[in-house]
Amino acid sequence: MTAALLAVIGLPALAGVVLLLAGHYIEHAARALSITAAALTLVAAVTAAVAAPAVSLPFISPDGAGLAVDGLTAVLLPTVAAVVLLVLVFASAEGLRPAARFHGLMLLFTAAVTLTVTATSLPALLASWEIMGATSYALIGFRWQEARTMPAGLVAFAVTRTADLGLYAAAGAAVIAGHGWRLADLADADGPWLHVIAAGVLLAGLGKAAQLPFSFWLSRAMEGPSPVSALLHSAAMVAMGGYLLLRLEPVLLASGWAGPTAAWIGAATAIVLGIVAITQTDLKQLLAASTAAQLGFVVLAAGIGATAGGTAQLVAHAATKALLFLVAGVWLTAVGSKQLPALRGIGRRWPLVGATFLLGAVSLAGLPPLSLWLAKDAILAAALHASPALYAAGLMGAGLAAAYSAKMIAVVWAKPGLQEQADIKQGRWDTERHGTRQVPPAVTVPLIVLAVAAVLVGVLAVPGVSEPFRTMIQAQTEPESTVWELVASAVIAIMVITLVFRRGTPHFTAAADWFGLERAAQAVVVRPMFRSAEVLARLDDQLNAAILDSGRLLDRVAAGMDVLDHAVGRTLGAITAGTAALGLLARRAQTGAIADYYAAAAIVTVAAFALLIVVR
Amino acid sequence: MLSIVIFLPLLVGAALAVMRGLPARAARLVWLATTLADLALLIVLTFTASTGAGGLRAEERVNWMPQLGSSYHLGVDGLSLPLLLLAGVIFVVCAIWSLRETDRPRPQAALFLFLQTTCLGLFAAQDLILFFLFFDLSIVGMYFVIAGWGHGNQRHSALVFFIYTFLGSLALLLGFIGLYLGATPHTFDMVELSRHGAFTGTPAAAGFVLAAIVIGLAVKTPTFPFHSWLPPAHTDAPTIGSVVLASLLLKMGTYGFVRIAMPMLPDAWRSWAWVIIAIGIVSVLYGALVALVQADIKRMIAFTSINHMGYVVLAVGAAGVLGRTTAEAQQLAIAGAATQMVSHGLITGALFLLAGVFYDRTGSYDLRQYGGLARPAPAFAGFFAIAAFASLGLPGFSGFIAEFQIFTGSIGTVPWTLIALPGILITAVLFLRAFQRVFTGETKQLSAGFADLHPRETTALAVLTVLSVLIGIVPGPLLAMIEPAAKVLVGSLTP
């Protein structure tokens, strides 16, 4: 079944490249081609997940592109392929144009993700890792005519690539450690190299997963179209940051410090970005902050070795958040705004869409019996095992998730009066683009599928029932949630939601712009870089000027040697005859000065050869 | 066979030079046919040439100046063959690009054919005198290209280029003579010099000779602080002149490191490796930072060349550091350096062609005068995006293969070289910023009415980008070519 494994990468890659290159020649067929490719990729992914094949291909090293499907991959590969298919169906139904470029980039991205989750060695992993970043850049800037999109893409790309440098360093350290680039062998490194590898991996994972302090790039990434946010900036690319840490969790644990660091950064992100999410008034910004916060639980899980909980959280979050982003996109298209005040009561206007959104938001809130409640609690159970403080921090993150979810539900299902409805239509809609006032029926299909998934995939983390899943990813020994823990988190969620419905959410001014993370990065990294670049460029000009001055000095010296030059030129030996002839040619053809230099140089040449002959 | 490959362009070029009555169109076609034939011969040679006793393929040796220990000695191995093939491709691309050239096409064709012989000859030379001869003739040829077909302040830039690189070549010559004197028996033969090394017992003398050679090569490469000639030369050179300069002439410097400096003075190279590493790291960061704030697109690309050549210098420096378990890392570094030479040749060649399109259409290289260019010229925007991503080392292109090997190999021998890593981040920022400023947003200023790529331009660009992608996805064949030679080189560095 190696063919399925190769197809799951090759198929979307090929289709993507064809779509990008053929461009407007096949614009009319682009959507059909793309959906077909995505569907076949899903078939291949399921086949590969069942058959669990492995293949070794050369890429830089003899097995640099080793590919394999193990338990973790077998879970994620079909998940990603399914979300891709649903998102592409949605985008086709919405009629995003130019379709060839959009679908081409999305499929190319898909190939990078499938390569990431199947790669068993660093060269291929790093390659696909960076291609994800580049396609993310191109997709954020999909509407390149708008001034804000491309700079946003650049911020996202530059921040994630900064973190990616960690993987380059890790690959270098792996060479010194002498165990090769196979992911499974990285934890065997010893001495300081293990720590370099762990630090590099941690950095790369945190950057992609939009954890602190890198989270702000995800805010900027929201400039991209909603299907892009649904796939890249929640279900797949950001999730890959979590995947990397889960995959290389043995490295984190072996280092001693990287595991706890990851766990605490994850918990801190769940709390801090939870507060950011509560404060947002733009739906997509709220969802973005909540994505970073929810990925915080995955990173926490990777830090304490809770693979089962972390994987379940990735899957449950992928379904839930892809759904919410797509709904945000539906409303943005329909009413031309994604600001919460414009979306008051919008659930009642399109009830089916509103209902799917409700399911997603309830799952995100951590209410029983939906998926994120179970998945998150599986992680928290392991956290309690590791450290009560970590458990408490995790619970706090969970409470914040309930709060921001409740905020969305309260807005979307609000019951504005007639006058208020009219005011919203009048003053709040069509502020970002011209709304169509329509929801094409076709777009609801992927929404319904995702909503069902958001409800059901929690089965992966139900204590007792989850046994086959845990066996599959070899996590049988990890702690499971007890009934009391599940009840406790459910009670907290219900209390928080009730509180938010009654009292509303508090507003933290500092959290509105994501605690100024981007401004801090500007001040600490970007501005110093540009300032030093300008200083160096000025120095370079001065260096040039100094050298040209010395050139003029040479000019005078050469002129003085002109007489000598003619004398010597006639007596040049066999070797230099050619050079002298060229010098003469130069004199005739050009300024004349060149010949002087050449002749002067010829003298040096002759002198050198004379020296040579004497010394012999 | 190798001699035919090298001198075929010169012969045709000479014929073109004297045939005054030849129509321009015929001259251009003869040029293209010659480069294609030469490339075909090179490919045949790649697959058929047999390996001689010394490990060289397609070896040729004829007595020339026996009293000086110099002979007409040619041959190729895994380090030189990729560069010969690169040269073959680049000159084909130049000929394609010039199919509509109206400015003295016949002399131009003759001159470029002459340049082709010097490039091919240099990479195949196995004798220092021969190497030096081709090295200097390439400078002369490029001088005429810039002075004769350039624009702006071309005379002055050509002169600066000439003086600077020529003085560098004199340092190199001094070093060569040193090598000759340091070898017993005295010889200029590169194979013999590499086999036994020179000045094996006298580190001080070896240090001076190495210094002369390194300065000579550093000027040509160029590395910081010997790079001042490069930006003006590029800015004022004609498009295909810039392509040959960046893709091939710069490689003569870096090729000299792996072909001459390292194997012939291994002890001195090991002792001074840290200086080379430092020069490499400074070049990487300096080139990238200065490029970041350039507004002239050709200057920007020129400075990124300093950055990219810095990676090569870093790698060859790091390869000189011996450690407990570093043989694998050293080989990685060298293979990365060799791959980077080819990769940079392809990608920067494409970038300079694209820069040429700006000048051709509007006469301005100033990034600030464009905006939203993707609307009138979508194919141009697409190729620029591809070349920019390739140049910033995106996986899927050859640059990633090279830079991954260089970094893992360098960090694998000298861990602190990871301070050069921000280089790939800064280049990413500068290329994407330039792309955004020129191609996206509102269509304004010089972008209005900008004509998109012509078929011949698309063809030339496609050749370069497709090759870069091929190497980027299937690096195996190229690496299989390079790795045995890298192994030999590492062996010669090990005492």
- Assess if residue A224 is contained within a domain: yes
Quote the domain boundaries for residue A582. 532-615
Task: Write down which residue in A484, A512, A540 finishes a domain.
Answer: A512
B293-330 as b/e: b if 16+ CB within 10 A:
bbebbbbbbbbbbbbbbbbbbbbbbbbbbeeeebbbbb
Identify the segments of chain A with pLDDT beneath 50. 563, 567-578, 580-592
Query: 3-state SS string over A438-461?
Result: CCCHHHHHHHHHHHHHHHHHHHHH
**Do A97 and A196 lie in a common domain?**
no
Q: How many CB pairs under 8 A join A and B?
A: 181
pLDDT at A606: 63
B57-65 and A61-68 strand pairing:
unpaired
B418, A530: Cβ pair inside 8 Å?
no
CA distance B1 to chain A (A): 25
What residues does B65 pair with on adjacent strands?
A: B70
Burial class (CB in 10 A: 0-12, 13-18, 19+), B242: buried
- Assess if residue A144 is contained within a domain: no
**Do A536 and A497 lie in a common domain?**
no
**Helix count and strand count (H, E) for chain B:** 21, 2
CA separation (Å) from B433 to B106, B292, B309, B351, B376? 39, 9, 22, 15, 20
> Contact A360/A404 with Cβ under 8 angstroms?
no
Residue B320 has pLDDT above 50, yes or no: yes
Residue B344 has pLDDT above 80, yes or no: yes
**Do A112 and A250 lie in a common domain?**
no
**Do A196 and A110 lie in a common domain?**
no
- Assess if residue A154 is contained within a domain: no
Round to whole Å and give the CA distance between B285 and B277: 12
Closest CA to A135 of A25, A228, A239, A37: A228
- Nearest beta carbon to residue A150 from set B148, B174, B436: B436
- Assess if residue A215 is contained within a domain: yes
**Do A429 and A503 lie in a common domain?**
yes
pLDDT at A610: 60
Round to whole Å and give the CA distance between B110 and A251: 60
pLDDT at A453: 94
B404, A60: Cβ pair inside 8 Å?
yes
pLDDT one-digit tens code per residue, B15-65: 999 998 889 999 999 999 999 999 999 999 999 988 887 788 989 999 888
pLDDT one-digit tens code per residue, B163-188: 889 889 999 999 999 999 888 888 99
3-state secondary structure of B101: coil
B397 Cβ under 8 Å from any chain A Cβ: no
**Can you give the pTM of this predicted structure?**
0.92
Nearest-by-CA chain B residue for A538: B290
ipTM of model over 0.90: yes
Nearest-by-CA chain B residue for A180: B328
- Total count of domains within chain A: 3
| CA–centroid distance for A559 within its chain | 62
- Assess if residue B460 is contained within a domain: yes
- Assess if residue A413 is contained within a domain: yes
- What average pLDDT is seen over chain B? 93
Interface subset of B 434-493, CB within 8 angstroms of A:
436, 439-442, 475-476, 479
Q: How confident is the model at residue B1 (pLDDT cuts 50, 70, 90)?
A: confident
- Nearest beta carbon to residue A59 from set B325, B442, B475: B475
- Total count of domains within chain B: 1
B394 Cβ under 8 Å from any chain A Cβ: yes
**Do A337 and A301 lie in a common domain?**
yes
pLDDT at A608: 63
pLDDT at A597: 57
- Assess if residue B295 is contained within a domain: yes
B400 Cβ under 8 Å from any chain A Cβ: yes
**Do A115 and A245 lie in a common domain?**
no
Residue B242 has pLDDT above 60, yes or no: yes
- Assess if residue A151 is contained within a domain: no
Nearest-by-CA chain A residue for B164: A551
A174, B173: Cβ pair inside 8 Å?
no
Query: Measured between beta carbons, which residues in chain B are less than 8 angstroms from residue A554?
Result: 163
Residue B326 has pLDDT above 70, yes or no: yes
B424, A173: Cβ pair inside 8 Å?
no
**Do A392 and A452 lie in a common domain?**
yes
A157 Cβ under 8 Å from any chain B Cβ: yes
**Do A89 and A221 lie in a common domain?**
no
B66 Cβ under 8 Å from any chain A Cβ: no
pLDDT at A586: 45
B405, A165: Cβ pair inside 8 Å?
no
**Do A110 and A244 lie in a common domain?**
no
- Nearest beta carbon to residue A131 from set B395, B401, B440: B395
- Assess if residue A253 is contained within a domain: yes
For B315, the token pair is: 């790698």
Query: Measured between beta carbons, which residues in chain A are less than 8 angstroms from residue B374?
Result: 144
B440, A154: Cβ pair inside 8 Å?
no
pLDDT at A578: 47
pLDDT at A559: 63
pLDDT at A557: 61
Quote the domain boundaries for residue B359. 272-495
- Assess if residue B140 is contained within a domain: no
- Assess if residue B356 is contained within a domain: yes
- Assess if residue B421 is contained within a domain: yes
Nearest-by-CA chain B residue for A544: B228
- Nearest beta carbon to residue A169 from set B177, B180, B411: B411
Determine which of B128, B132, B440 to mutate to test the interface with A (most A C-beta atoms within 10 Å): B440
B419 Cβ under 8 Å from any chain A Cβ: no
For A282, the token pair is: 């733009």
**Do A19 and A115 lie in a common domain?**
yes
**Do A274 and A379 lie in a common domain?**
yes
- Assess if residue B306 is contained within a domain: yes
- Nearest beta carbon to residue A127 from set B232, B328, B395: B395
- Assess if residue B127 is contained within a domain: no
Query: Measured between beta carbons, which residues in chain A are less than 8 angstroms from residue B286?
Result: 536
For B165, the token pair is: 């690189």
A529, B389: Cβ pair inside 8 Å?
no
pLDDT at B69: 85
Q: How confident is the model at residue B203 (pLDDT cuts 50, 70, 90)?
A: confident
pLDDT at A463: 86
- Assess if residue A439 is contained within a domain: yes
